[in-house]
Amino acid sequence: MPREPKKAAGRGKRTPKPKPCPICGKPATEASRPFCSERCRDVDLNRWLSGSYVVPGRDNADEDAE
């Protein structure tokens, strides 16, 4: 009968360390992940809506050259 391999000591399912809130740096909560609170979530949303965050794109002049 084949034997089952032994498990190494200290190894097993590891829970990943929670990443800090991108706004204030506090530990993120499960309910508001990746933020620590609804307040930080709202701050981030306001930054997107006000144009503080911008996703870079191509210039229209580049498209005309083709």
Mean of pLDDT over the chain: 80
Compute CA 47 distance to the chain's CA centroid, rounded to the nearest angstrom: 16
Whether 3 is covered by a domain: the verdict is no
Total domains, the chain: 1
Whether 35 is covered by a domain: the verdict is yes
The 3-state DSSP class for residue 31 equals: coil
Mean local confidence (pLDDT), 24-35: 92
The pLDDT-based confidence of 40 (bands split at 50, 70, 90) is very high
Q: d(Cα 35, Cα 21) in Å, to the nearest integer?
A: 5
Q: What pLDDT shows up at residue 14?
A: 72
Whether 65 is covered by a domain: the verdict is no
Whether 66 is covered by a domain: the verdict is no
Q: What pLDDT shows up at residue 9?
A: 56
Whether 10 is covered by a domain: the verdict is no
Range of the domain at 29: 18-51
Nearest CA to 26 out of 38, 15, 39, 35 is that of: 35
Whether 27 is covered by a domain: the verdict is yes
Identify the burial level of 36 via C-beta atoms within 10 angstroms of its C-beta, where 0-12 means exposed, 13-18 middle and 19 or more buried. buried
Whether 59 is covered by a domain: the verdict is no
The pLDDT-based confidence of 11 (bands split at 50, 70, 90) is low
Whether 33 is covered by a domain: the verdict is yes
The pLDDT-based confidence of 60 (bands split at 50, 70, 90) is confident
